[in-house]
Structures are given as structure tokens and as C-alpha cells.
Structure 1
Amino acid sequence: MSARLAFPGLAAVFAAFFFAAGAPTPLLSLRQQEWHFSTGTLGIAFSAYAIGLLAALLGAGSLSDHVGRRPVMLAALAAELAAMIGFVLAPSITWVIGSRILQGIATGLATSAFSAAITEQAPARFKKFAGGLAAGSVAGGLGVGALVTGAAVQFTSDANTVIFSALTAIMALGLVFVGFTSETTPKWPGALRSLIPRIGVPAALRSEFAAGVPVHVAGWMFPAFFLGLSPAILRLHFALDGGLVAGFTAFLGPFAAAVSSFTFNRHPARQATIIGTSLTLIGVIVVLIGVNQTWLAAVWIGAVLGGTGFGASFGGQVRLIVPHIQPHQRAGVFSGIYTVAYLAFGLPVIIAGQLVPILGPVPTFQWYAAAIVAFAVPAVVIQLVRQRRDTASALTPAAPAA
């Protein structure tokens, strides 16, 4: 299969993983009403996905650097297919949580392997575009999955079967497609050793990687609120329990992130990171105003602002690092990036879900928003300092040759 076909095709299959990850957002809220489990259990059901994903990233995040991209992508698709079947058949929240864990493991296997393969399959003129495409696939898939599923909840009698049966078919087609793609990396020794949990960030990149941690934490906590907690806020605080409004609210931020990851791809990576993190900060403040005043329009406006910032900052940080990675290091570095991202995506939602019954939905979100601000502000400062350092280095003349 030619790279011209494999490049967009792999991005589409990768996006399907995140469509499937966003799909449970409106369904979990519906299941909570049907099965009568707590908001804390709702948070666990949402975040079980992130736990499985982190386990796969830490244990097998760099496996494709050793055995090749295609075998790992195929294994990820097989596990995702099994998870989709689990969702179709789920009779209880326990079964759903188990399927979410398996889905997370599958997505963890897919994340570093697909991200690396998309970059490697990209034609030369699209190499810089590839990082933004991978980031856009993640955010866009999450948002569209929530929106389409919300519409299915609103307009069909069995949204769970409709959505996950369709996703079962999509994953089966994905298996066939990836099976026809060519391998993009040579095999390297050390496959078994790579299964020892670790984050593979080369020494030369650790400073940039560390500087990006607060950017990722603030950025990924923002969509996690909309995908994990906003249905409960809408139902308990806004008295809105329709599937479409829940799906649309969850959709706005990730979709804005997907669009901005492409838009800001034209800007310098550092500048995109600074502007993006600043927009995330503004967005969460606007959402906080909307929640405090029970003003849904402000929540939606804040979702777009913060989502735009998330896409710009995440794509910018990826572009700051990717050009400096050797091919055999690529999956390990992507594993490190997404480990930080999914810790921020899952752990705060679990904590917030346990706090809602104690503090109430609005005070819990106020603390959640304060945590985003606490990471976003130093993230902007750190990136501004590094931008000034980059500028100074660029202006310093090179030492004459001896």
C-alpha cells in the first residue's frame, strides 16, 4: 500500500479509537439513570479507560520500536474489537468498567504505535503536518464520538447497541486495512526488556519534555471535565438530562481542539504552545462563570476557547519534540507524552467523582477548575522563559571554527 493512502488511512483508524473513547460519555449518564449507580462510580467507569491506557503505555509503549508498528497496531485493533463487543453485551456497570479497561489497554497499545506510524508514513511535505494530524485525530475523535452518541441517545431506542455495533464493524475494517499497510521501522533487539514499565525520553529531550508537563496537565484536564463530569453537572445543576445536550456539550471542546491543531500547525511550535495554554486558562475561567451562574451559553463558549487552546498547546508541544527523536526512540517518547496526558485525563476525574457526593457538583468543579489554573499559569510562564531563551540562542553568533 502506498504512503499516500496509508497516511490518511492510519489517521482515520487512529481517530476511530478515540471516537470509541468519547462514545460512552452520554451513555454512561443514561446508564446511571437506568442502573442507579453513584456519581463516584460514574467517574470510575469513565476513568477506568485511562487506567488501562496508562498500563499499556507504561508496559508496552515502546514495544513497536522493537517488533514493528504493524504487529502492535493489529494487536490493538483486536483488543479494541473485543471491547466493543463487550459494550454491546454489557448487562451491568461492572461489565462496562471491564470493557473500559480493555478499551484503554487497546488504545494505549495503539497510541504510540499509530502516532509513530502516521509520522513515518507521511509524505515528506507533510512530515510537520503529521504531528498535528495525530493530535487532531485524538481530540476530534473524542468530540465526534460524544456528539454522535448523544444524538443516538436522543433519537434511538437502543443507542448502546447502535453505536457499539457500528464501532465493532469499523474496528474489523481497521484490522483489514492495517493488515495491508507496509512496515515503517526496522526491528530492534530488546522487545522483552521494553515491557518493563518506563518512560523512554532521551536525555537531550528531557528538559523540553519536563517543560511540557504542566502544559499537558492543564490541557488534558480541560476536555476530561467535559467528557467525564459534564453530564453529571448538566443533570444535577442545570436540570438537563437529554442525550443530545450532553453529547453536544462534550463535543465542543475536543472538536475545537481538533480544528485548532491544524490551524496552529502553521504557527511556530513554541508560540502555539503559549497561545494555546493561555486560551485554556481563559476557557476554564469562562466555563467556571457559566457553571456558577447556571449559564449554559457561557459553558459552551468556554468549551470552545479552552478546547482551541488544548489543541494548539498539545500540537505545539508535540512539534517541539518530534523533530529531535530518532526513529527507534519514537514510540517510547510518544508513550511518555501520552502517559502524562492520560494521568491528567483520568486521575482528576476519579477524584472529582468521589468528591461530588460530599461537596456537591458546583464546589467540586470549582476545585477542579482551580487545579487547571494552578497548572496553566506556570505553564505559560515556563514557555515564555523558554521562548526568550530560544530567541537569545538564535541571535548568538556561532563560535568561529578553530
Structure 2
Amino acid sequence: MTTGGHKPNRWIRRHFHGVGYILIVLLVGANMPSPLYGAYREAFGFSPVMQTVIFAVYAAALVPALLVFGPLSDAIGRRPVLSLALLFGVLGATLMACADSTSWLMAGRIAQGLSVGTCSAAGAAALAEHEPDGDHTKAATAATATTAVGAALGPLFAGALAQYLPHGFVLPYLVFLCTLVPALVAVALLPASRGHGRGTRPKIRISLPRVPHTIRAPFTIAVSTSAVSWAVVGLFQAVVPSWITEMTGTGNLVVGGSAAALTMVCSAATQLSVRRLPPRLGQRLGLVLLAVGMLILLLANLLHSLPLLFVTTAVTGVGHGLAFSGGMQQVNGVLVTEAPEVRGSVLAALYTIVYAGLGVPVIAVGLLITLQGMDAAVVEFSLAAVAACVVIMIAQRRAARRTLSASRVIAGSPMADRPGTVAASSAGDIAPQGAGPDARRDPIG
């Protein structure tokens, strides 16, 4: 029974699951080309640099879509933005299915980037709004896990269909188009508008991401961690599958796709298993495992060992799951108390930097492969990734010390006991009095 004008809890839950399905299926479509790059390169005759460029134009198209449609979803609601994301998904799959040259692949990847860019921030915000219990940690985990699940299923799905069934460059995308039908139903059932800008006509414009000053410090740490985790994953999605097929001398697309899939399977499993891990601790552990994974990759490259390559794939996946989910939980946590009205805009900023971290290093690796060869490129990328992890961990520790020092100063101030002032706990959380338990969570983990 509905009371107070609110929808029954079961409908809120259905909306939550429906948005999750939309995000998963669009990420499946965007990651389907990963195991096919080697076959595309053989069929169309492009270079390793062009292979990474085809991968990276996806991120290049994704960023402006985030800048436009993340903030726009705050104004007009999530449903129209997610509807447009599905239309881009249809366009991308159609272009990829019809591809008979490199230019078609580029166009298809651009459309797929627009699809994911349009849905990422709006979808994450919709999950937070429709989480039945108002649990922002669960919503953040759902947002990151759907990304990981979609990125895991895409390579396996496309690799298996292309390897064992005819019309390998067409059939995967036709099957994908069929999976969009439930997504269209899910988006049609969403509430018409949950925007904050009703009554005004929204302006569509590209602008630099703006993050409120009150959450800028935790946002910077979280987004840096997330970006380096996706930079590492980008290597496993764009380069490692074809590297494995060359190393093993087999043309089996499932073998190559399994590396990209294993990374994201381990990531998704980790995110779902450690949902209550404090965000700051999750990010720190994730960075450690990412650094260890890159060192194992160096050893696998030196020994040309396929087992070691799969070990580093699994370790990297776990590290990505901890780092990315920890970063998303940290940002979602401060948004709940500090800036809920700009959730879509802030998440757009986060995803913009994350996907830049995904695309730019991959292009650099492609250039290094062309100029110096695969071995030198892997060594240089791995060392750069390890260095980035160490720098971010140092920055995290310094930020934690500054926050703890500030909270102790506030706690010792005579103003701390006055109504309406800031209260600080012994753990270093800072929150307005009366803001509730969610607001008292440590903004850096």
C-alpha cells in the first residue's frame, strides 16, 4: 500500500535493479571489441598504434558526454539522459556490426563512448536516488560493480560468439542489441523527473567539471586512486589480449578475452565481498595490490610466462576493485552530506578524470610498442604505474594526517560545544551536529 504519496518499496527496488541492468548491458557492449582487436588488425591491416587509438577514441568521446549529460541529468532528471545513452548504444552496436574498415570501427567506438559517457554519472546518481534503504555505500558499490561486471562479461561474450559461431564480427553485436530490449523497458519505468532544476529550461553546454570546495580534498584523493586503477585496467583491455594470443601462438579469441574478463571478474567479486571496508583502507590496499600486480607483470614479461600473466591479471583485478570502489564510496559519502544537489555534476567530474586515466596511458603504450617494441613498453608502463601508486599512497597519508589534526583542533575549541557548530569524534570525522550517522563518516575513509 502506498502512503504519503511515496511509491511502494518494491517499485523503488525495481528501479534500482533496472538502472543496474542498464549500466551493465551498456558496459558489456562497450567492452565487446577487446578480444577482437587482434582479429580486426589482421582483417583491416592497421598498426598497434591505431589499435590503441581505436580503443582510446572511446574515452575521448566519453569525456564530453560526461561533461554535458552528467550535470544535465541534475536538471532534467535521469530518465531522458539514460534513454539517450541507450540510443547511443544501439548506434554503436550497429556501426560495429557493419564495420568493414578502420573508419567504421572508429565511428562505432565513438558511439559506444558517447553511450557510456551519457549513462555513467546519470546512472550512478540514479542508483543513489533509488537505493531502497538510502544506503549510499551500497549505491556506490552497485555503481562500481556494474561497471566491473559489464567490463568482465563483454570480452567473454564477444570472444566466445566470435570464436565458435559464424559471422564473428557481426553476431556478437546483434545479440547485444537484443539485450537492450529489457533495458528500454527499465528506463521507461523510471520516474519522469528527479531533477533539481524543474521549472527552468536547462542549458546544454560543455564546461570544466566543478567540485564544491567542501569536498575537494577527499575528491582529489579518490579520483587519483580511481584513475590509476583504470589506467592499469586499460592495458589489460587494449593490449594484453592480443599479447596473449601472440605469446601462445593461438588464434583463440576466448583465450585473449579471458585476460580482460578475469581482471574485471576479480574486481567485481572484490567489490561485492568487501562492501563494508572503510573507503580509505580499501584505496590503500588497492594501490598496494596494483603496484604488486605491475611488478609481477614485469616478471611475466621477462620470463614470457603465461601462468604469471594470469596471476598478475587476477591480482590487478582485486586491486582495481578495492581502489575504484573505495574511491567511489568516499565521493558518495561526502556527497550525501555536503552536496547532494550536484551529485550528477560531481560524479561527471570523477568519471571524466577516470576515463582520461583509461585512455591517455593506452595511447602512450601504443606509441611505445610501435617505437620500442612490446617488452620495453610493458616495462616502462609498469614502472610508471608503480610510481603513481606510491605517490598517491603518500598523498593519502598526508591528507589523513591533516584531517586528523584539523579535527583535534576543532574538538579542543570552545566553539565545539555550541549548537550548530562542527563536532569531531576521536576517529577524526567532521560533521555538522544533527546531520545524522551518515554525515559522521570519515570523509577520507
Evaluate the alpha carbon distance shift between residue 135 and residue 241 of structure 1 in structure 2; reply closer, same or farther with a 3 A threshold. Answer: same
Match of 1:341, SS?
helix
Instruction: Please tell me whether residue 109 in structure 1 is matched to residue 118 in structure 2.
Output: yes
Whichever of the two has the greater Rg, that structure is 2
How far apart are 1:142 and its partner, in Å?
Answer: 0.6
Quick one: which of 116, 125, 130 aligns to 2:139? Answer: 130
Judge which range, 186-195 or 351-360, deviates more.
Answer: 186-195
How far apart are 1:282 and its partner, in Å?
Answer: 0.8
Quick one: which of 261, 271, 282 aligns to 1:272? Answer: 282
Instruction: Please tell me whether residue 339 in structure 1 is matched to residue 313 in structure 2.
Output: no
Partner residue in 2 for 1:118: 127
| 1:234-245 correspondence runs (5 A) | 234-245=244-255
How far apart are 1:88 and its partner, in Å?
Answer: 1.4
Match of 2:275, SS?
helix
Partner residue in 2 for 1:382: 395
Q: Which amino acid aligns with 1:333?
A: V
Partner residue in 1 for 2:260: 250
Contact 1:222 1:372 in 2 (8 A): yes
Partner residue in 2 for 1:360: 373
Q: Which amino acid aligns with 1:310?
A: H
Partners in 1 of 2:86 and 2:319 — Cα distance? Answer: 30
Partners in 1 of 2:12 and 2:296 — Cα distance? Answer: 43
Deviations 1:189-243 (A, max 9, x none): 7765452322031111111122234312320111101110112322444434320
Partners in 2 of 1:394 and 1:304 — Cα distance? Answer: 39
Evaluate the alpha carbon distance shift between residue 231 and residue 133 of structure 1 in structure 2; reply closer, same or farther with a 3 A threshold. Answer: same
Partners in 1 of 2:208 and 2:370 — Cα distance? Answer: 36
Evaluate the alpha carbon distance shift between residue 266 and residue 184 of structure 1 in structure 2; reply closer, same or farther with a 3 A threshold. Answer: farther
Partners in 2 of 1:322 and 1:121 — Cα distance? Answer: 14
Partners in 2 of 1:232 and 1:357 — Cα distance? Answer: 14
Partners in 1 of 2:270 and 2:151 — Cα distance? Answer: 15
| 1:119-198 correspondence runs (5 A) | 119-124=128-133, 126-183=135-192, 185-188=194-197, 192-193=202-203, 195-198=205-208
Contact 2:25 2:150 in 1 (8 A): yes
Contact 1:273 1:383 in 2 (8 A): no
Instruction: Please tell me whether residue 321 in structure 1 is matched to residue 335 in structure 2.
Output: no
Partner residue in 1 for 2:438: none
Partner residue in 2 for 1:207: 217
How far apart are 1:154 and its partner, in Å?
Answer: 2.3
Quick one: which of 382, 398, 401 aligns to 1:369? Answer: 382
Q: Which amino acid aligns with 2:184?
A: L
Judge which range, 186-195 or 96-105, deviates more.
Answer: 186-195
Partners in 1 of 2:270 and 2:192 — Cα distance? Answer: 30
Partners in 1 of 2:312 and 2:404 — Cα distance? Answer: 32
Q: Which amino acid aligns with 1:3?
A: I
Judge which range, 225-234 or 152-161, deviates more.
Answer: 152-161
Contact 1:199 1:333 in 2 (8 A): yes
Contact 1:65 1:330 in 2 (8 A): yes
Partners in 1 of 2:223 and 2:12 — Cα distance? Answer: 33
Partners in 2 of 1:74 and 1:318 — Cα distance? Answer: 24
Deviations 1:360-391 (A, max 9, x none): 11111111112211211111122223334455
Contact 1:217 1:372 in 2 (8 A): no
Structure 1 unaligned residues grouped into runs of 5+: none
Partners in 1 of 2:133 and 2:404 — Cα distance? Answer: 27
Match of 2:169, SS?
helix
Contact 1:18 1:142 in 2 (8 A): yes
Structure 2 unaligned residues grouped into runs of 5+: 1-6, 419-445
Give the fraction of aligned pairs with identical amino acids, expressed as a percent.
25
Match of 1:91, SS?
coil
Partners in 1 of 2:204 and 2:272 — Cα distance? Answer: 33
Match of 2:151, SS?
helix
| 1:219-234 correspondence runs (5 A) | 219-234=229-244
Q: Which amino acid aligns with 1:253?
A: T
Q: Which amino acid aligns with 2:377?
A: T
Contact 1:233 1:362 in 2 (8 A): no
How far apart are 1:107 and its partner, in Å?
Answer: 1.0
How far apart are 1:139 and its partner, in Å?
Answer: 1.4
TM-score (norm 1): 0.94
The structure whose residues are more often helix, as a share, is 1
Evaluate the alpha carbon distance shift between residue 318 and residue 398 of structure 1 in structure 2; reply closer, same or farther with a 3 A threshold. Answer: farther
TM-score (norm 2): 0.86
Instruction: Please tell me whether residue 42 in structure 1 is matched to residue 51 in structure 2.
Output: yes
Match of 1:37, SS?
coil
Contact 1:117 1:184 in 2 (8 A): no
Partners in 2 of 1:359 and 1:377 — Cα distance? Answer: 26
Contact 1:214 1:376 in 2 (8 A): no
Partner residue in 2 for 1:73: 82
Contact 2:78 2:195 in 1 (8 A): no
Contact 2:96 2:173 in 1 (8 A): yes
Q: Which amino acid aligns with 2:93?
A: M
Partners in 2 of 1:375 and 1:183 — Cα distance? Answer: 43
Partners in 1 of 2:12 and 2:278 — Cα distance? Answer: 26
Partners in 2 of 1:365 and 1:183 — Cα distance? Answer: 48
Match of 1:226, SS?
helix
| 1:5-44 correspondence runs (5 A) | 5-44=14-53
How far apart are 1:181 and its partner, in Å?
Answer: 1.3
Partners in 2 of 1:37 and 1:70 — Cα distance? Answer: 39
Contact 1:274 1:384 in 2 (8 A): no
Deviations 1:26-71 (A, max 9, x none): 1222111122211111111111111110121123331101111111
Q: Which amino acid aligns with 1:345?
A: L
